[in-house]
Every structure is written in C-alpha cells, then in structure tokens.
Copies of this chain bind each other. A is one copy, B any other.
Amino acid sequence: MSEKKLRMQLQCPMPKLDFDVITLGHGSGGVLTNKLLDSGVFDLLSNPILNEKHDGAIFKLDGEMAFSTDSFLVSPIFFPGGNIGELAVNGTINDLSMCGALPKYISLSFIIEEGLKMSEFWDILLSIKLACEEAGVQVVTGDTKVVEKGKGDKIFINTSGVGKLHPKAKIGAKNIQEGDSIIVSGNIASHGMAIMSVREGLEFDSEILSDTTNLNHTVSSLLDEFEHKIHLLTDPTRGGVATVLKEIAQNIGLGIEISQNKLPVNSQVAGACELLGLDPLYVANEGLFIAFVDATIEEDFLKKLQKDSNGINAKVIGKVVKDHPNQVVMESAIGGKRVISMLPGEQLPRIC
C-alpha cells in the first residue's frame, strides 16, 4: 500500500493553488467551491459518470442491488495504517460486501471545518483514489460543505454506495441454523488499538496498524465457491466482535458459543489492550468480517480464506447452538464460561 501511495503522490502532485487552507467560501457553492473542485478533485477522481457534473449520477444497474451509507469522523484523521479517506471508501465497500453485493459506485460527501490544510485534504483525496482503484469502484457523485472553526473537527466524510447482488449470494440472519460454524477472517481489535495507541501516545516495538482494507474481492471469491452455504456475513466495526455476535443471537433466537482460546489477536494488540484495560472483544475492527457458514463447508471455507491476503489469520471461533437462546457464551482461556453482552457504554468514541 505505502509504495503504491508514494507512486500516486509522485504521479498526482497537489495542484498549484492561490490558497493553502480551506475557508468557508469553499463551501459556498460559488466561485471558490468551483475552484476547489475543478483544481484537481474532478481530475483526480475522473470517470465518465462523475464528469457529467449533474445533481446526481446516472447509470444502469439491473437486478437486485444493495445500497448502504456510513459517516466517518475518526480522530485523528491520519492514523497508523491509514487515514479517514480510505477508511470511508473501504467502510462502505465492506458494508455492501457484507450484504453479498459487488460494490460498483460510491458517493462522497465532505463536511470540512474551515482551516483544514489543502495539503491534508489532498492526501486524503489521494487515499480515496487509491482505495477506489484497489476495490474497483468509482466515485460518481459528491458534495462539499464547510463549517466554521469549532463547529466540526477537520473533516467528516460520508460515503454511500450501490452494488449488484452476487448472483449466488443468499445472505441473511434468517438462514443461520443450529450447528453453523462461526469464522472470523483475521486478528481482532487492530483498528481500534491503532487509533487508541496514537491518542494515548503509546509506543511499541513495532507500530500497531489499522486493518482498514476492502473485503469485496475476498467475499466475492468465497461466494463464487460456497454460494448459499454462506449464511451470514457481518463486519464487527464499532462495538467489536462481542456486540455483533450478541445482536445476531438476539436476532435469530438461537445461542452462540465461542472460545477465547481461538480468538486471533496480535500479541502487540493484546498487550496494548491489557495496558489500557480494554477487552479486545469490544474493540472496533475495519477490514475484518465474521462468517456464519454451514458446518459442512467449515474446513474448505477456512482453507480458501487463509490463502487470501485478507484471511491469513482466519479462525473458526465458535458455533451456533440450541442452548441458551439469544445469549452469547464464551469459554474463557482458563476454562470457565461467561455470558457476553453488547458494549455497554462509550468505550472508544470517534473510532471510525
């Protein structure tokens, strides 16, 4: 990623402008807004649909489709392993992927606090472009607004997206059955701890990096092979793995059993969690998903996933059971069992 980013920075130098910070006028809809957008933004993200510059984008997308939205307000906006730009692109791509859809077009809406440096905005735009290229999606429509200093926080980004359903996908909580295997695609808690380690000024031997990435290619190839035997896909972002599993248990009226021993956590991340008194089960992830699959495909699914660069650390973490309906029960590392609830408070605000 970083090599590609460097290449992109060389290929797309920041345009020469008569301003270095973004001001209220850049959100006026008038001359300055046009200057901001024309001087690079449109060129950078150029594609035939966006270039029409109408009030919306027009395209064809037959059949069943998915539509998703997310606003991103992570603080700090640049963090180890990424920035708010690629986070916003990947986040919506992954929400669509979790529906079993193949993401195609996204919208991009900026709420900028006046005073944001143009150089920072440009870095964010470059990451957006790169993230779109890697995922194979296009930005086709957008919006730029500016708020007064002290009424925002540097930049918030909303992305919405649309995609076509994978023809073989049949994803939905209602498909989950007793006995289903629960598989997590990689190490948990990386994104949240990358953000927290910056905020708390923690230093480690090697930096903890956010796991932000697109999951659409990974999911698409799993759906190609395992089709309707994949019962549910979900990404445990805010609230972490615990919150998502509890929501699903309540939704399906069955029980969920997981083993603490099987949860993949990077040792550095585990150490940081311990230092801050956080349970990795509740820490946010970005480039991670949980799959509920038919038990008969467990082994093949895991093998295929582990060959994908996004699934090297994938593990089976538990299964769906008839006992204790609506409850998630975890066998702890030292043998006892405990009931897992949703994230109760506000553990880590502004994490995505």
Residues of A at the B interface (CB closer than 8 Å) are 23-25, 27-34, 52-71, 73, 75, 94-96, 98-99, 101, 105, 107-111, 140-143, 145-148, 150-153, 156, 158, 160-162, 165, 171-173, 234-235, 237-239, 243, 247, 251, 282, 284, 341-350
A67-B105, A69-B109, A152-B151 known; A28+B343 contact, CB < 8 A:
yes
Could you give 24 example pairs across A and B, Cβ below 8 Å? A28-B346, A29-B243, A30-B243, A30-B345, A33-B239, A52-B172, A54-B99, A55-B96, A55-B234, A57-B68, A58-B66, A58-B99, A58-B101, A58-B165, A67-B107, A68-B141, A69-B143, A69-B158, A71-B110, A71-B143, A109-B160, A147-B153, A150-B150, A158-B158
A96-B56, A99-B56, A153-B152 known; A345+B32 contact, CB < 8 A:
yes
Complex: A346 Cα to B350 Cα, angstroms: 30
Decide: A67 and B29 in contact? CB cutoff 8 A: no
Q: Is the interface of A mostly helix, strand, loop or mixed?
A: mixed
Q: How many copies are assembled?
A: 2
Report the nearest B residue to A95, measured CB to CB: B55
What is the minimal beta-carbon distance from A112 to any residue of chain B, in angstroms? 10
Decide: B70 and A28 in contact? CB cutoff 8 A: no
Interfacial chain B residues near A70, Cβ < 8 Å: 109, 143
Interfacial chain B residues near A33, Cβ < 8 Å: 238-239
- Scoring A161, A235, A346 by chain B CB atoms within 10 A of each residue's CB, the highest score goes to A346
Decide: A344 and B30 in contact? CB cutoff 8 A: yes
Report the nearest B residue to A251, measured CB to CB: B53
Decide: B58 and A60 in contact? CB cutoff 8 A: no
Decide: B349 and A24 in contact? CB cutoff 8 A: yes
A67-B59, A70-B109 known; A34+B342 contact, CB < 8 A:
yes
Interfacial chain B residues near A52, Cβ < 8 Å: 172
What is the minimal beta-carbon distance from A296 to any residue of chain B, in angstroms? 24
Complex: A230 Cα to B219 Cα, angstroms: 44
A56-B67, A111-B156 known; A29+B343 contact, CB < 8 A:
yes
Report the nearest B residue to A174, measured CB to CB: B52
Complex: A60 Cα to B164 Cα, angstroms: 9
Complex: A54 Cα to B349 Cα, angstroms: 22
Decide: B30 and A69 in contact? CB cutoff 8 A: no
Interfacial chain B residues near A237, Cβ < 8 Å: 29
Interfacial chain B residues near A57, Cβ < 8 Å: 66-68
Decide: A58 and B64 in contact? CB cutoff 8 A: yes
Interfacial chain B residues near A350, Cβ < 8 Å: 147-148
Decide: B73 and A147 in contact? CB cutoff 8 A: yes
Decide: B62 and A63 in contact? CB cutoff 8 A: yes
Complex: A55 Cα to B341 Cα, angstroms: 20
Decide: A28 and B349 in contact? CB cutoff 8 A: yes
